[in-house]
Amino acid sequence: MKGHNPEDTIHFIRETVKNLTQDPHEIYYVLKKSEVIESKDETIDGYETATTEGIAIRILRDGRMGFGYSTRLDTEGIEKTVQQTIDSLKVSEKDPAHGLLDAAVPYPALELTDPALASLTADQKKEMVITIEHTARAFDPRVKQVRNAQLSLHEARVWLINSFGLERTYSATGVSASIMLTAEEGDSSEYGWESVSGHFLKDIIPEAIGEKAAEKAVTRLGGKPVRSGEYPALFDREVVAEIIGLLAPSFTGENLYKGKSALKGKEGTEAFSPHLTLHDGLLYTEGMAAAPFDGEGEPARKTVLIDQGIVAGFLYDHYYAKKMGALSTANAVRGGISAPPSCGTTNLYLAPGETLFSNILRDISEGFYVQELMGLHTANPITGEFSLGASGQWIENGELTHPVRGVAVSGNLFDLLKHVEVVGNDLKWFGTIGTPSLLVGSLTVAGTENS
């Protein structure tokens, strides 16, 4: 299909499917343009651009779902992909939960594109990434090495069409900036990092990114253990995002159905702190998963997972909704074209409180400001049990007094979230998860016997 455009490609796929089978079908088409600029030693060290496109096809026959995908969009490539999709029906398991969505429900219009990104010149992009690095180096002479600073931009358009009359499309832009660096003082060396992402150029402030990464590294220099004990713990919002991300699969219909969720059977019970309210939804445009519809075409919405500590709901795509006797919550997600949609989280939003971070800190006579949990991914997401290395700052009389390193913390993540006493008002989005700081009443810290 020389000189093809997406509409022509989709039309050709539909005609090819109709020529080979009368079975219901679905076409998922993605066109993406991306650009990555890197700097090192305050000069441009790398520059890459790419345009990718591809299709995924599903065909439904007698309770079986066939699937195929391809990035080859010429006539031969499309015909081969359609035939492979049909052939895959032979090995697909028959399951009455398989299905395709009809077009009965309209979907919302979301503004996810920023014209300002397209108008950025090459020099402006280079200036942004170099500014990140320059600001970090200028923050403190102890910042000795910058691994790299990076600016990434992308624009994507998605089409989803099926034989039941569903025809949906949307566009989204994205921009992210990051830096990784090292600070040194004597024999002490610490790394610092910062990453910010959003759909709009206004979300990126280069100077703030460089300064934050440098601050993280410098304030950790000279870290030392503290005496073992039980202490109040103030969790940095980035750590909170990692915790929420680890436990999020407990809310999916797939894990409920497979018995892999500790929350199964707990709907309506107070399993978390009454200070916590957690939502999931494509409608949170601050999150990078924002979209007007999910991977099956279900219109975007918000779902309450925790309502003031009470387990209020779970997340479903159409397949697991049918399995569990529920309704879809628009949580069919696609990681790309190489796999069919699956049940998962979209944008997770932990509602902020009203307390300033400084006020939370002020009221702690002695405690641990946890800025990093090492190896959090090794914690058991089903039971919630964890024992991890940690670092951060020690709190005395409402002030950060010295960096902490060489300690371990242990407990249960579900219990941790059940004993949250204060929720900060400092919400920040980390990709697809938005979280504030949290104060937990007690955390087991293993350090030294002496202070």
Along the 451 residues of the chain, how does pLDDT read in single tens digits? 555 688 888 889 889 988 999 999 999 999 999 999 999 999 999 999 999 999 999 999 999 999 999 999 999 999 999 999 999 999 999 999 999 998 778 899 999 999 999 999 999 999 999 999 999 999 999 999 999 999 999 999 999 999 999 999 999 999 999 999 999 999 999 999 999 999 999 999 999 999 999 999 999 999 999 999 999 999 999 999 999 999 999 999 999 999 999 999 999 999 999 999 999 999 999 999 999 999 999 999 999 999 999 999 999 999 999 999 999 999 999 999 999 999 999 999 999 999 999 999 999 999 999 999 999 988 888 889 999 999 999 999 999 999 999 999 999 999 999 999 999 999 999 999 999 999 999 999 999 875 4
Q: Tell whether 79 and 162 lie within a shared domain.
A: yes
Q: Tell whether 344 and 199 lie within a shared domain.
A: no
Q: Tell whether 228 and 207 lie within a shared domain.
A: no
Q: Tell whether 294 and 194 lie within a shared domain.
A: no
Could you tell me which residues come within 8 angstroms of residue 265 by beta carbon, excluding any fewer than 6 positions away?
none
DSSP 23: S
**pLDDT value for 199:** 97
Contact 361, 395 (CB under 8 A): yes
Q: In which region does residue 72 sit, left (phi positive, over 0), alpha (psi from -120 to 50) or beta (all else)? A: beta
Joined together, the tokens standing for residue 172 give 């989204």
**pLDDT value for 381:** 85
Task: Classify residue 431: in a domain, yes or no.
Answer: yes
**pLDDT value for 377:** 86
Last residue in a domain, options 212, 237, 266: 212
> Rounded to whole angstroms, how far apart are CA atoms 187 and 242?
30
Q: In which region does residue 146 sit, left (phi positive, over 0), alpha (psi from -120 to 50) or beta (all else)? A: beta
For residues 316-341, b (16+ Cβ closer than 10 Å) or e, as one string? Answer: bbbbbbbbeeeebbbbbbbeebeebb
Task: Classify residue 131: in a domain, yes or no.
Answer: yes
Q: Tell whether 173 and 296 lie within a shared domain.
A: no
Q: Tell whether 193 and 279 lie within a shared domain.
A: no
Q: Tell whether 65 and 159 lie within a shared domain.
A: yes
Q: Tell whether 397 and 304 lie within a shared domain.
A: yes
Q: Tell whether 229 and 170 lie within a shared domain.
A: no
Mapped onto helix, strand or coil, the DSSP state of residue 18 is helix
> Rounded to whole angstroms, how far apart are CA atoms 41 and 435?
33
Task: Classify residue 217: in a domain, yes or no.
Answer: no
Q: Tell whether 150 and 202 lie within a shared domain.
A: yes
Last residue in a domain, options 184, 212, 240: 212
Q: Tell whether 206 and 240 lie within a shared domain.
A: no
Task: Classify residue 1: in a domain, yes or no.
Answer: no
Could you tell me which residues come within 8 angstroms of residue 294 by beta carbon, excluding any fewer than 6 positions away?
282, 300, 317, 328, 330, 331, 332, 333, 341, 346
pTM value? 0.95
Last residue in a domain, options 193, 212, 231: 212
**pLDDT value for 449:** 73
Number of folded domains in the chain?
2
* CATH number of the domain enclosing 96: 3.30.2290.10
Identify the domain containing residue 267 by its residue range: 223-451
Contact 47, 54 (CB under 8 A): no
**pLDDT value for 172:** 98
**pLDDT value for 8:** 87
Q: Tell whether 202 and 246 lie within a shared domain.
A: no
Task: Classify residue 411: in a domain, yes or no.
Answer: yes
